[in-house]
Structure 1
Amino acid sequence: MDSTGILPKFRVNRPLTAREREKHLQQKKRLDVKLISQLCVIRMNSRWLESVDRNYGTRGFITMLSLVLAAFSLYAMFMLLWLVIGGSVPNENSLWPVIFTCSAVSFLMALTFLWITRKEVFRYTHYPLLFDRVHRMVHVFRFDGSVLSVPWDDVYFTLGRGASLANMTNWDVRGMVLDADGSTVRETFALAIVTGSEENALGHWEFIRRYMEEGAPAVVDAVPFCMPIWNKKETGAFSRERTFANQAQARGGLWLMMAPFSFLESLGRSLAMATSQIPQWPPEVAAVMTTDPQDPYNRDASINPPDLQ
């Protein structure tokens, strides 16, 4: 899985790279690609669209992996200490100091892995992005709970690359706030897609771009579902559903092979969601999120099948 933006964080206070300049995405340039909403929409209407973040789809993976590695580290520590306590290893040739040192290293590794789980547990259930068409603003809920608000036209969008544990390089769409010099990156956020296909990344960019530039009628058909997380946490059943959705395109044999890992990841996701708080927009942002009951483009989780609401 690719958790770029969390581990590792996006690099800032640096110049734009040659690739970021080459892959620059322009707000006024229409792309002839298939629109991909990427299960990002929480709520949408003619005035604004609220989206999940880049890592929402894989939430739980860091928790699952870190807890498994912490458990193995603690197991190794106790097994090493048991060699001494149980008398299996005599104190000869300085073996005990070596065992105690290895036990201490295992304990420190366990603490490190438990610390890494804090990237997901006791945090926020998601980090929403709000695209305000009326005022042409983008609001980004940061990892520390603060909010970045920046004019849509001032964001430098580009395709980014992230790396998974399998050393596979993925595409995403990043928005950057540049310094007055127009080349120094001061802040970076990402849209909701992580994909192995550049065309799919462009499809998600075009979905957001077309919403902001052309309005809800241009994108509404690309929104078959909305994420059922408005002012509430997702259910355990939905956590499993969303985790297994990541493997929806896998062929039968590969899907079966990945199923046990997806199940463990769904448990990590459920733990992360249960221990985290629901993000709340500050009053000045929430004030723009007005809705018209007669708006034909109102979309939220009520459009989903009953088991996904």
Structure 2
Amino acid sequence: MAEQPTLTLNDGRVMPQLGLGVWQTMDSQAAPVVATAVEAGYRLVDTASIYRNEGGVGRGVRSTGIPASRIFITTKLWNDSHGSEAPALSLDHSLGRLGLPAVDLYLIHWPTPARGRYAETWRALIALRETGKARSIGVSNFTAPQLARLIDDTGVVPAVNQIELHPRFQQRELRAFHEAHGIITQSWSPLGQGTLLDHPVLTEIARKHDRTVAQIVIRWHLDLGLGVIPKSATPHRIRENIAVFDFRLDEADMARIAGLDDPRGRLGPHPDDFN
């Protein structure tokens, strides 16, 4: 396998660019899925308290015999734990389930603006970083105005904003904001929840490179400099999704995929409406 690329966060720490997402993976299934991924070469696993599979993720990592310190683990704070005190308790519960003393990255899962507490919650995450229980901190599903408020209120810039991003919903304006402020963009649902796998443009590019459409789309994220966390529970697809480091897309490929962007392409909820 070619050497895997990494991304340097604004706090100086390094994060693998490609990882495994485990959304909708049952806890009982998470251990073998994570073990398969780690054995295939993945070094980042992305979970969340609301996924209810942190225990399985921890068991999967331990089963490989590879030190946990070599696997970058991300988890997330759920919406019902916003505030100044609840995040610390929630992180302790996550660490207990994972069987870890600290996570590499702790994210506010959604801004939940109707609750009006995401800035207060961000201050709590800053405190958790200072304790060492969260080595890096960031957010997920935040808009540019919400990010600007965090930065203006605290002076601390999130290391990562994990957002829905795929060829049909490319988030160019938000990516530009991230780049201007030193925030890593990490893509969830990078394959468009399977809706892109028979797209004729992507199918044609896949034939050109003798690759699968999923590999083409993952390579597109990598070539844009994005973090990407494709989800799969199928062993051969887990291995297939990481076999993307020995080729690159050319300018014509990138231009054709850029043309697939659609302002109506969002599949998940809008962050302003999800509470």
Q: TM-score, normalised by structure 1?
A: 0.21
- Structure with higher helix content: 2
**TM-score w.r.t. structure 2 length?**
0.23
Higher relative contact order structure (alpha carbons within 8 Å, sequence separation ≥ 6): 1
